[in-house]
Amino acid sequence: MKILAIETSCDETGVAVVEAKNGLKNPSLRVLSNITLSQIKIHAKWGGVVPSLAKEEHQQNLIPVFKKALRKSGLLIPKSEFLISKQTPKSKLQKIPKILEREPKLLEQFLKLMPAIQTPKIDAIAVTVGPGLEPALWAGINFARALALVWNKPVVAVNHMEGHISAVLLQNSRNSKHKIQSAKKSFGFQHSIFEFPTIALLVSGGHTELVLIKKWGNYKVIGQTRDDAAGECFDKTARMLELPYPSGQEIAKQAENFKKYPLNFRMDGGAKRKTEKEVFNIKLPRPMIDSKNYDFSFSGLKTAVLYMLKNMKERHINTDEFTPTICNEIQQAIIDVLIAKTTRAAKEFKVKTIILGGGVAANKELRRQMAAAVKKIPDVDLRLPAYKLTADNAAMIAAAGYLRALKRDFADLNKIKARGNLSL
Ligand code: KG4
Ligand code: ZN
């Protein structure tokens, strides 16, 4: 089965083609193309993603990204002049202006391109329908509807979070223990055998969730954040420290500096600092780490950083000098909570596999420390997505789309809609 997928839930315009086989028991997938165009620079000056701007960018960039993805997977085949005049399904094209009435720039490019290319050999179109920014989601959904109509292909409505879970089915995802041959590669296909129950820790800019998975498609959220998401906490505290947007990686980079040269940044270390500064204790809370449930809360951590910085300034401490120390502590506080809750849930629900997913899963320390923690639990396998598949991309949407397409879980083109708050 070949799936073409579209992702526009936030600030990345993504189109991918994934080939998949072997069904739900032993899904084997390979990425034929996975093109992502990031809008980060456009939103950077606003300090966050602006939904209307995101939609505008998506509608402008979908066709170029789509063309690249088709070309890379060998599916962009031009029609001959003869076929263009003979085969263009005029009646179908006439319906497109209505479907894309809110995306005029996309419409114009669509009507120009589609009559000139052959229908590719794909089996379904997967598109993210939520959660995310509704105006942004609509651009992708309407594009999928228009393609489906012209090509006569079914559409699979995909939950973005199921996409983050499914990223581990794609190439180069890792098995932490290397002892179980659960992820093998051949001819570019990643063959995966997953033992259930599985638990997924999903950590992104908008979500922090622990999801119990009994089998593919059967998800139960057993815990989630009550306020800010883990990624949001990285982003917001980074802003307080005046680090450049987008900020999760910046905190990680600064923390790495601390790890490399701890004495330079330690307030209590080194004979150099024998003033009041050195006794200033940089210790942040680990919110809800001991609570009996699996929920998270990161806004208190954010506030703690705010007060700590204020306090340091009042004492005329140059906070810049200690940015790596502070970043290391922020990162460690978040990691401690994430690992404590995930491993506790893994033991309680006797899971066989732990999956990490979402943008924050790119954090090297989180990956390293999670692997070390999971190693201590007998017979549990940790699955980490490839670094480049942690951030939003369309290949993961194709992977999730495959799991649904196998059950012929197709959407009604007239009813499919953006669902900003869609849950798993
Ligand atoms: O999944 P994602 O790409 O988009 C959403 O669906 O939200 O996640 C983006 C989040 C941002 O909050 C970003 O700061 C965070 O992932 N992030 C990181 C790292 N790379 C990205 N957080 C910590 N460490 C990183 N290396
Ligand atoms: Zn995401």
- Summarised one tens digit per residue, pLDDT across range 306-321 is 999 998 888 888 888 8
3-state secondary structure of 179: coil
Residue 218, C-beta contacts closer than 8 angstroms, at least 6 positions apart: none
Instruction: List C-alpha distances in Å: 78 to 33, 67, 71, 82, 339.
Output: 18, 11, 10, 11, 51
Return the best residue to mutate from 202, 249, 369, 393 for the ligand 1 pocket (most ligand atoms within 8 A of CB): 249
Residue 5, C-beta contacts closer than 8 angstroms, at least 6 positions apart: 14, 15, 16, 17, 18, 125, 126, 127, 158, 394, 395, 397, 398, 401
The encoded tokens of residue 400 equal 């999730």
Q: What are phi and psi of 224, to 5 degrees?
A: -155, 175
362 alpha carbon, closest ligand: 1
- Report whether the peptide linkage leading into residue 27 is cis, meaning its omega lies within 30 degrees of zero: no
Residue 100 pLDDT > 90: yes
**Burial class of residue 17 in the structure, from the number of CB atoms within 10 Å of its CB (0-12 exposed, 13-18 middle, 19+ buried):** buried
Residue 178 pLDDT > 50: no
What pLDDT is recorded for position 266?
53
Return the best residue to mutate from 234, 247, 302, 388 for the ligand 1 pocket (most ligand atoms within 8 A of CB): 234
3-state secondary structure of 180: coil
Q: pLDDT tens digits for 382-411?
A: 999 999 999 999 999 999 999 999 999 999
Residue 18 pLDDT > 80: yes
Instruction: State how far the Cα of 302 lies from the Cα of 294, in Å rounded to an integer.
Output: 20
Instruction: List C-alpha distances in Å: 272 to 279, 283, 325.
Output: 13, 21, 16
Residue 278 pLDDT > 60: no
**Burial class of residue 73 in the structure, from the number of CB atoms within 10 Å of its CB (0-12 exposed, 13-18 middle, 19+ buried):** buried
3-state secondary structure of 384: strand
Residue 16 pLDDT > 80: yes
Instruction: State how far the Cα of 330 lies from the Cα of 363, in Å rounded to an integer.
Output: 13
Atom 7 of ligand 1 has which residue's CA nearest to it?
205
Q: Are 156 and 126 in contact (CB under 8 A)?
A: yes
Instruction: List C-alpha distances in Å: 27 to 15, 21, 169, 193, 407.
Output: 21, 6, 7, 7, 13
Choice among 75-84, 198-207, 251-260 with the minimum mean pLDDT: 75-84
Query: CA 264, 267, 268, 271 torsion: positive or negative?
Result: positive
Choice among 77-81, 127-131, 135-139, 351-355 with the minimum mean pLDDT: 77-81
Choice among 47-61, 128-142, 277-291 with the minimum mean pLDDT: 277-291
Instruction: State how far the Cα of 408 lies from the Cα of 189, in Å rounded to an integer.
Output: 22
Query: CA 184, 424, 16, 148 torsion: positive or negative?
Result: positive
Q: What is the mean pLDDT of residues 325-342?
A: 96
* 131 CA distance to ligand 2 middle (Å): 9
What pLDDT is recorded for position 174?
60
Nearest-atom number in ligand 1 for the CA of 204 is 8
Q: How confident is the model at residue 171 (pLDDT cuts 50, 70, 90)?
A: confident
Question: Could you give the angle at which helices 134-151 and 104-113 cross, rounded to 10 degrees?
Answer: 20
Residue 330 pLDDT > 50: yes
Q: What percent of the chain has pLDDT over 70?
A: 90
What pLDDT is recorded for position 175?
58
* Strand order, beta sheet including 28-38: 155-159, 124-130, 2-7, 12-21, 28-38, 189-192, 183-186
What pLDDT is recorded for position 184?
61
Q: Are 182 and 194 in contact (CB under 8 A)?
A: yes
Residue 166 pLDDT > 90: yes
Higher local confidence (pLDDT), 274 or 19: 19
How does DSSP classify residue 211?
E
* 10 CA distance to ligand 2 middle (Å): 8
Which amino acid is it at 140?
A: G
Around ligand 1, the residues with Cβ closer than 6 Å are 10, 204-206, 231-232, 234-235, 246-249, 252, 358-360, 362-363, 391-392
Return the best residue to mutate from 137, 159, 165, 360 for the ligand 1 pocket (most ligand atoms within 8 A of CB): 360
Q: What are phi and psi of 18, to 5 degrees?
A: -125, 135
Q: How confident is the model at residue 368 (pLDDT cuts 50, 70, 90)?
A: very high
Nearest-atom number in ligand 1 for the CA of 207 is 7
Query: CA 180, 185, 186, 189 torsion: positive or negative?
Result: positive
Residue 343 pLDDT > 80: yes
Choice among 76-80, 147-151, 251-255 with the minimum mean pLDDT: 76-80
Higher local confidence (pLDDT), 278 or 59: 59
Atom 8 of ligand 1 has which residue's CA nearest to it?
359
Atom 14 of ligand 1 has which residue's CA nearest to it?
248
What pLDDT is recorded for position 241?
94
Q: What is the mean pLDDT of residues 269-286?
A: 60
Q: In angstroms, how far is CA 309 from the centroid of its own chain?
A: 31
In the structure, ligand 2 is a single-atom ion and the residues with CB under 5 Å from it are 204, 392
Q: Are 154 and 405 in contact (CB under 8 A)?
A: yes
Q: Mean pLDDT, the chain, as a whole number?
A: 90
Q: Are 343 and 377 in contact (CB under 8 A)?
A: yes
* 283 CA distance to ligand 1 middle (Å): 23
Residue 212 pLDDT > 50: yes
366 alpha carbon, closest ligand: 1
